[in-house]
Each structure stands twice: as C-alpha cells, then as structure tokens.
Amino acid sequence: MAFASQLNGMDFNLSEEHQAVRNAARDFAQNQLLPQVIERDNLQKFDTGLVQAMGELGFMGMMVAPEYGGGGMDTLAYAIAIEEISKIDASAGVIMSVNNSLVCWGLEKYGSEDLKQKYLTRLATGEIIGAFCLSEPEAGSDATSQHTTAVDMGDHYLLNGTKNWITSGNTSSVCLVIAQTHPEKGHKGINVFAVEKGLEGFTIGRKEDKMGIRASDTHTLMFSDVKVPVENRIGEDGSGFKFAMSTLNGGRIGIAAQALGIAAGAFELSLKYSKERKTFGKPISEHQAIQFKLSEMATKIEAARLLVYKAARLKDEDKDYIQAAAMAKLYASDVAMWVTTEAVQVHGGYGYVKEYHVERLMRDAKITQIYEGTSEIQKLVIARELLK
C-alpha cells in the first residue's frame, strides 16, 4: 500500500508508516553498515552481502509497485530511508539511490510489460542491481550531446560508444544506456536501452579511484558493436531524452536526501563529541564558539530537510516538482559540504583521522555537489522554472 504523505499544509509530522521506515533504515545502518564502514572505505570494497540485505529489507525497490516485487512506498518514505542510510554509509546510499530513482523508476514508468517482468521484479528485490548510463567523456549530464550511437538494424540495435562515471558499473547486471539513434533529429533522436552484462562487445573499463563514496564501484563502460534486441528499447523511438530528463529530475531528490543524511550524520557525531571532549576543565559544548557552530549546523540541516521533504511531497502528489527537486539538491549538497567541514573543525585533530568518521563524511559530501548535475546546473534548472 502506498504511503500517504503527512506533510500537507502546516502538518510536518511523519505518519506511523514513515516513522517505521525511518526506524528500520536507522536500525540497519547502525547495526549492519556501521561496524565495517571504515574498512570498506579503505579497501574500496563493494559488499554484495550488504546490498542483498538492503534488497531483502525492501530498500532497493521502495517505490516499485508490489506486483513487481517492490514496496509500493512513496517518495517521502524513500527519502527518509536514504537519509538514515547515508548518515552511516553514503556509498550504500548512492547504490540504493541509483537503483531506486533512476533504474527502477525509469523502467516502471516507461518500460514495456515484458521488460518489467524480465528486469524490474529482480531489481526491486535486490536480486540484481542496475546502472544508469548517461555521462560520457565529452557529455557529462548533457543528454543532448550523446556520442554513443545505437543504429537500428531491424531486429536489433548496434550499440557503440563509451559511458563513464557509472555507479555500480561492474556489479550491475543490467544497464540503462542512453544513445543517439537519429542524429539528424537532435534530442528527438535519442533512445534508451536495457543492456545486459555479458553481451559480446560489452566491456567493463577501469575502476575509478575516488576521493569519496569509495565502497561503491564506479567504472567506465565500453560498447563495441553490441547487439541489443529491439524489444530492449525502453519507450517509443526517440523518447530517450524525455526519459533521461524525467529520471534525473526524480534522481535529484534521492541525491538531496543522501546529502542531507551525510550532513545529519556529521552533526550527530559532532554533538556527541562536543559533550565528551573537555578543554579548560569543561566539555567543549559549553564553549560559546562550539555552541554557535552546532546551532548553525542544526539550522541548515533542518532547512535542507524541509526542502527535501517538500520536493518528495510534490512528486507524490503528482505536482510539478522540478524546481523543488533542484532547490533541494542545490541546498542540501552545499549544506553537506559545509556541515562536514565544520564537523572536522569541531573534532579538532581527531576529526582529521579515520577513526572518528567525519573526515570520510567530508570526502563523501563533495560528490553530492557534482553528480545529478553540478550546483551550476541546478541553478540553471531553477532559473528556467522561475522564468517560464
């Protein structure tokens, strides 16, 4: 049963269902993600068992209809779960975000019934995970500048090109690949395809050695004359640009929630530490300079949370959420970077070492200002919506 948002009007209280989601996500994060999160970061270790556990708990297909193996939950429940998981492990958060917001949502909204039966049910339960392949060496998040091509050969498409910065690039089983089929039509000639791993000509490139979210694998994917069955095209011919834009709009909510979680996690650690660490004979929480930092951190996080929840609520109510999602992503990602930097400062020298977690959260925060479009792209989206 879909959760009904309780954020209508001035009522900001969460429903019992949303509170249950928060408690379940928090319990999983604290008990299963936290114990070896530093080790996974150090080793750049993608833990298949933890991802499968997220699937078993329903976190990999939260918004997918129950008939396809999903939880049938609303976007707000999804954002709440992403926040709690990202407080502890933003790598798990981004894996969950891509699978939910970009892969499952795109397949359910635009895919044929055959594709839903073939892939969506397995993606929603975490049996397999998916990847979203838009970025290219010269295209970034610009869906109109696709150099990857898909030539229509009748019963199949011939796929050629390179995609980079692909989250779960090596561990995914199916990739949603954006490619240009009719160059003369510009953005109206773009398509999207469900491409399975193992097809001849599909090569996985090097793994990126990243500053943050190191326990999620990020790879370059290469396609050389890959034969993709025509039935694996998602949507009508030429609908790929619309697919990319609509999935990115929804994906911004997931990334905003991830940024919110990173910030909230750093704040909670700072609050706890400030009560334990003593200088000049008293806890540093009693020093006004630290109180000012904690107050501003908490205020910015609460403002970010309201923006995220608003965007989620608008999407759940089937209202125009594009501007709200861009605002949430823009603000929450900036807050994540600022709060985590302040958290390191609150911890002093201890904040600079891995044991206290905040240096990792600071490294993780930076990517939230980059993927799903940089801060500058979000500002352009917001301005476009304002000037309509």
Residue 247 dihedral angles phi and psi, to the nearest 5°: -70, -40
Q: 356: which 2 tokens?
A: 């206290």
Cα–Cα distance, 140 to 90 (Å, whole number): 22
Q: 281: which 2 tokens?
A: 């004979």
CB distance 20 to 6 below 8 Å: no
CB distance 307 to 332 below 8 Å: yes
Cα–Cα distance, 162 to 372 (Å, whole number): 19
Q: Which residues on adjacent β-strands are paired with residue 323?
A: none
Cα–Cα distance, 314 to 305 (Å, whole number): 14
Active-site residue, selected from the candidate residues 127, 372, 376, 385: 372
Tell me, rounded to whole angstroms, the distance of Cα 103 from its chain centroid: 11
**What's the first-to-final CA gap in the chain, in angstroms?**
36
Q: Answer yes or no: 355 catalytic.
A: no
Residue that is written with structure tokens 């020093």 in the block:
287
CB distance 98 to 128 below 8 Å: no
The three state secondary structure string of 247-310 is HHHHHHHHHHHHHHHHHHHHHHHHHHHHHHCEECCEEHHHCHHHHHHHHHHHHHHHHHHHHHHH
Cα–Cα distance, 144 to 224 (Å, whole number): 21
- Extended strands (E) in 119-259: 130-133, 149-152, 156-167, 174-180, 190-196, 202-207, 218-229
**Which residues, 6 or more positions from 216, have their beta carbon under 8 angstroms from its beta carbon?**
46, 91, 92, 94, 95, 167, 168
Active-site annotation, residues: 372
